[in-house]
Amino acid sequence: MLTYDAPEGMLRDAVSSVIAGAGVQRVIVVDNGARAQQSLAGLHDGAVPLQLVVTGRNLGFAGGMNVGIDLALQAGADAVVVLNDDVVVQPGWIEILAAELQRDATIGGVQPKLLFADREPPTVNSVGVRIGPDGAGTDIGYGEPDDGRFDEPTDVEACTGGALLLRSAMLREVGSFDERLFMYYEDVDLCRRAAVAGWRFRCVPAARVWHRGGATSGSVPTRMAYYRERNRIWLLFRWARWPVVSRGLWLSVRRVRHAPRRVHARALLAGLGGAPRQLAARWTRPRG
């Protein structure tokens, strides 16, 4: 679980729910900030080992999660859950996801149904990620009522990194999150790298997680906008078909006309500036 100066009580609620939900053998909290130790004081009761790793600087989502993933792999984990610090999990959720990995050896990762924590009636946050015709990743079911339409397990193009069980064998084969992305689209990139290697991804909605959404990153909206836009452009050059690249770049040009204009312009320039490296990765990657 990754955290970065979470609001009072949020991290504690998240970790407590994971421990109470059972099914995990070890909890690793990676702190990109400086408040986790205080938040977790007195929480550990010995039932599940709880390890806190303070990175000393903000490594972003990708870098921070990779610290925890590496520790889990070194400990011999068969599978690794990555979680945001703004979630509360349903008891028994992890057994549902783990059963899906055990059912099919080609599945590299499984995500639960994410529901907004603060909405009534229950409202879907994500049952997977789809990639649009402009390269933008959107959460499937976002904002829709949880009325049974999204209750069937299904293969998905990509999963959200906010709550995701990853098979260790897949991670060892294709690697973890790309730390150059820092935050946003690192989950999409991982799923695409794994798909090239033959791995599949699933959403199993019987496992449920409640998500506050943007509780940490939402405090820096301009940074969010920059990385989201820059990384979408990078992944266009890295993965998309050329018509999608064209549509995606035209979307970026149009966004420069809207606030925050300067942030969108910087993201467009950075995206284009990184194009040669992304194209090199595109041309040299293994073909599935």
pLDDT-derived band at 42 (thresholds 50, 70, 90) equals: confident
Range of the domain at 159: 2-218
Which runs of consecutive H residues, i.e. helices, occur in 157-241?
168-174, 186-196, 221-239
pLDDT at residue 133, rounded to an integer: 95
Domain closes at, from 218, 239, 261: 218
- Do 162 and 224 fall into the same domain? no
Q: What is the pLDDT of residue 108?
A: 98
Residues 157 and 264 in one domain: no
Reply yes or no on whether the pLDDT at 288 is more than 80. Answer: no
Single out the residue of 68, 15, 19 nearest to residue 40, CA to CA: 15
Residues 243 and 102 in one domain: no
Tokens of 165: 């069980």
Cα angle 95, 60, 130 (rounded to 5 degrees) comes to 55
| Dist. CA 173–CA 97, nearest whole Å | 21
What's the pLDDT tens digit per position in 166-224? Answer: 999 999 999 999 999 999 999 999 999 999 999 999 999 999 999 986 555 555 689 99
Looking at the structure, tell me whether residues 264 and 150 fall in a common domain.
Answer: no
Mean pLDDT score across all residues of the chain: 94
Query: Do 224 and 211 fall into the same domain?
Result: no
Residue 76 — left, alpha, or beta (φ > 0 → left; ψ -120 to 50 → alpha)?
A: left
Cβ contact 162:114 at 8 Å = yes
**Both 141 and 84 in a single domain?**
yes
Express each pLDDT in 84-93 by its tens digit: 999 999 999 9
Confidence (pLDDT) at 287: 55
Q: Are residues 154 and 210 in the same domain?
A: yes
Q: Write down which residue in 218, 245, 276 finishes a domain.
A: 218
- Token pair for 159: 């999963």
Q: Are 113 and 19 part of one and the same domain?
A: yes
The C-alpha angle with vertex 183 and arms to 102 and 115, in degrees rounded to 5, equals 55
CA dist 80 and 73 (Å) reads 8
Same domain, 146 and 277: no
Q: Could you check whether the bond before residue 260 is cis, i.e. omega within 30 degrees of 0?
A: yes
Q: Both 100 and 204 in a single domain?
A: yes
Q: Can you tell me the mean pLDDT for 222-241? A: 96
**Would you call 164 helix, strand, or coil by DSSP?**
strand
Same domain, 92 and 112: yes
Q: Do the beta carbons of residue 183 and residue 219 sit within 8 Å?
A: no
The pTM assigned to this predicted structure is 0.94
Tell me: do 135 and 254 sit in the same domain. Answer: no
User: Which residues have CB under 8 Å from 103's CB, separation 6+?
Assistant: none
Q: Which of 162, 185, 218 is the last residue in one of the domains? A: 218
Number of structural domains the chain divides into: 2
CATH label of the domain that carries residue 6: 3.90.550.60
**CA distances, 18 to each of 29, 55, 56, 157, 223 (Å):** 11, 22, 25, 26, 29
